[in-house]
Amino acid sequence: MEFNRLATLINTKAKKLVPLKLAAIFVLAAFLLGLGLGGEVKWDWSRPGAGRVTGINQTAPAYLSKDVDFSLFWQIWKYVHDTYLEKPVSDTKLFYGALNGLVAGLGDPYSIYMDPETAKKFADELEGSFDGIGAEIGIKDNRLVIIAPLLKTPAERAGLKPGDKVLGIDGYDTSGMAVDYAVSLIRGPRGSKVKLLILAEGQNEPKTLEIVRARIVIQIVQSELKDLPNNQGRVAYIKLAHFSNDANKLFMAAWQDLAAKGPKGLIFDLRNNPGGFLDQAIAISGHWVTGGTVVKEQTAASEIKSYDSNGRGELSRVPTVILVNRGSASASEIVTGALQDYKLATIVGEQTFGKGSVQNLEDFPDGSAVKLTIAKWLTPQGRSIDKNGLKPDIEVKSVDDVTAKQDNQLERALELLSR
């Protein structure tokens, strides 16, 4: 989950394994890169450690050459082979590098190509443990920013906050840097250090933070009973760290345990929750929403697809407050938007991050994957989430002093539920 791995909401209904044999990945790539344009392409594995592409003297068909001349690709391929200092040149590395550049050419920080090794790390992170500093990053106003530091991680202890701009990583300027390249610079073995140049919101001068990487094991759910003011009883408090693949199960287990103790309401804390799996966001929303649309998906062709609840709505009569802040993104915004539109919860806190683009994760037979932006999220009433974020019903600014023990947003939630 390190730095915007989970903030890109994964649509598990669209995620699928391409049903092709191993060799077919090269056929697909051949189409994308022009490997099969105008001649026979062969993949030769005779050289250990590197497949070799033959038949590189290709010409693009007339209909394609009007826009793109793929012969330039082969000219550069051959030039690199013939001229590069270190021999032999690995065709496999060139091939995967070309695929990476293909997706990077979109200029979308949330669309990425992952080679098999990177794809495996991504899958591991979705399970909720990894080595790093424990923060999520995204793009805001064309700058790398902290979406959320995770609870009890090196990032939180270092004082990183939602909205902090990441200007440099170990001396590298992050201007124009893709999110996942930033990830590769920040990641590293536990015990090692990374230096981040951070410009906090409202500050004019950046500061350098040296953070020691650690093994990050995320506690998905925290729950307890909270006392209402003036001895008016207690309410259930559930904090969800991110929408992991078992988030709904963990949420319901926490609620059922607390519900048995007779709480007068529920505070659902989604602050600094950067997102996760779509199906988990829909499932959790279904504990309030019955039969209605939870979120809408708008494609590039302006087609609208609705994702409906199949939940029982057993919490629809439970007084609920949702806590959000600038670190609430993606799946958090889907749940917040649905309950806000249906007036099933009061939203308290700060405007959310605004990560409302849809990424489809496509796995390929060689173990690689492409995460591609395909649509945008809208709330049930058609409000756009992307870039705008969601405004709370009751705005309460957080206390900026990281040493302060006061939680004024939580206190306001308790006050509302005590009425």
Return the HEC string of 79-127. Answer: HHHHHCCCCCCCHHHHHHHHHHHHHHCCCCCCCEEECHHHHHHHHHHHC
Are the CB atoms for 9 and 330 separated by under 8 Å?
Answer: yes
Q: Which of 357, 359, 368, 409 is catalytic?
A: 359
How far apart (Å, rounded) are the C-alpha atoms in residues 20 and 30?
14
Residue 208 tokens read as 């350098």
Residue 263: asked if its preceding bond is cis (omega within 30°), the reply is: no
Give the Cβ contact number of residue 65 at 10 Å.
14
Is 371 designated active site? no
Q: Helices marked H in 226-327 — which ranges? A: 247-259, 278-285
Are the CB atoms for 157 and 149 separated by under 8 Å?
Answer: no
How far apart (Å, rounded) are the C-alpha atoms in residues 320 and 269?
10
Side-chain half-sphere exposure of 314, counting CA atoms within 13 A: 8
* End-to-end Cα spacing for the chain: 39
Q: Which of 121, 165, 355, 371 is catalytic?
A: 355
How far apart (Å, rounded) are the C-alpha atoms in residues 375 and 207?
37
| DSSP per-residue letters across 379-410 | -TT--B-TTT----SEE-PPP--TT----HHH
- What are the helix and strand counts (H, E) for the chain? 11, 22
Is 355 designated active site? yes
Q: Which of 244, 280, 330, 409 is catalytic?
A: 330
Residue 173 tokens read as 């300027």
Is 330 designated active site? yes
How far apart (Å, rounded) are the C-alpha atoms in residues 349 and 410?
9
Are the CB atoms for 214 and 149 separated by under 8 Å?
Answer: no
Are the CB atoms for 415 and 369 separated by under 8 Å?
Answer: no
**Which run of H or of E encompasses 417?**
helix 408-417
Give me the active site residues, please. 330, 355, 359
